[in-house]
Amino acid sequence: MAMTGSLQNNLAATGFNAATQSIGVNIISGAIADSGKTLGQAVVLDAGCGGGHYSKALIGRVGQIDAVDISNAQLAIAHRRLADEALDGRIRFHHCDIQALPFPDNHFDGVMANQVLSHLETDDNEKYALHSRVLGEFFRVLRRGGACVLNCTTQTQLREGFWHYNLIPDALEAYLPRTVPSARLVELLHAAGFVFEGRTVPLDALLIGNRHFEPTGPLDPSWRRVDPVWTTATMHQIGNAEERLRAMQREEELDHYLAKLDDRRPRVGQCTFFVARRP
């Protein structure tokens, strides 16, 4: 994916992949199934594959996957996870940046990018030039009728779907600009040539699974390391959060705090799937 290799390598080293959940696989496979080719014969690009969780979940449904990432560390994890499938030729791994894909035009029946766009550099004028280049590459490598599925966490979901971000409000506000507003993302898809088909929110999906419900989770460095916002928090911000949590723990208020702040999540979810198609 188009992020710094050091960030990707750090996520790999700190256990990010161990906590990643493969959410919305039915949404992805359903969109690809509408591409005009039998799903079992479809050729799919996993753009910014990370540790290969989504490729692993999808590999039994499609014909072949090409998985790309800018991080060799992440690719090594993905290759270990899909070693048998790689030997069978059902998946191939490529070290590259998603803004310059090493594939010919009209090659894939589907492209999926799961929790990837938030890692792209954003510009101050909100034109999202890098995002436009990446979406243009997705359009180029897709065949006519091919599906582009973007799994993103929206700004509303960041604000209301993660109870623990209330502990690090400054870190959250600093992170929000990394997320393209939903309406703007749809505009970028149209500008790249896509026909936008709609969005789906799996309301019961949790990005880190049941670890989301651990009230003392933010006190654990290994818990914090699997979350993209917590990994950007300063030591001062983390220290303040730990003090608040321990105070609530002493007063036996922590469970109530979590339940109160988690009240909105079942209505907004933690991720949104944007589906577009090359006409």
Report DSSP state, residue 233: S
Q: Do 117 and 150 meet the contact criterion of CB atoms below 8 Å apart?
A: yes
pLDDT digits (tens, 9 = 90+) for 218-228: 999 999 998 99
With a cut of 80, say whether residue 208 has pLDDT above it. Answer: yes
Confidence band (pLDDT; 50, 70, 90) for 21? low
Percent of all residues in the chain with a pLDDT value above 70, rounded to a whole number: 92
3-state secondary structure of 82: coil
Instruction: List, as one string, the DSSP characters of 83-134.
Output: HHHHHTTSEEEEE--TTS-SS-TT-EEEEEEES-GGGS---TTS--HHHHHH
- Both structure tokens of 222: 């290994």
- Tell the residue number behind the tokens 């280049």, with chain if given: 133
Dihedral angle computed from the Cα positions of residues 239, 205, 14 and 162, in that order, rounded to the nearest 10 degrees: -10
pLDDT digits (tens, 9 = 90+) for 159-197: 999 999 999 999 999 999 999 999 999 999 999 999 999
Number of domains within the chain = 1
Quote the distance between the C-alpha of residue 120 and its chain's center: 11
Amino acid of residue 129: A
Q: The domain spanning residue 146 has which CATH number? A: 3.40.50.150
* Distance, CA of 29 to CA of 9 (rounded, Å): 29
pLDDT digits (tens, 9 = 90+) for 215-264: 999 999 999 998 999 999 999 999 999 999 999 999 999 999 999 999 99
- Both structure tokens of 75: 């690719």
Instruction: Domain of residue 184: give its range.
Output: 5-277
- Both structure tokens of 88: 């069978």
Number of helices (H), then strands (E), in the chain: 14, 7
* Distance, CA of 260 to CA of 180 (rounded, Å): 28
Q: Do 1 and 48 meet the contact criterion of CB atoms below 8 Å apart?
A: yes
3-state secondary structure of 253: coil
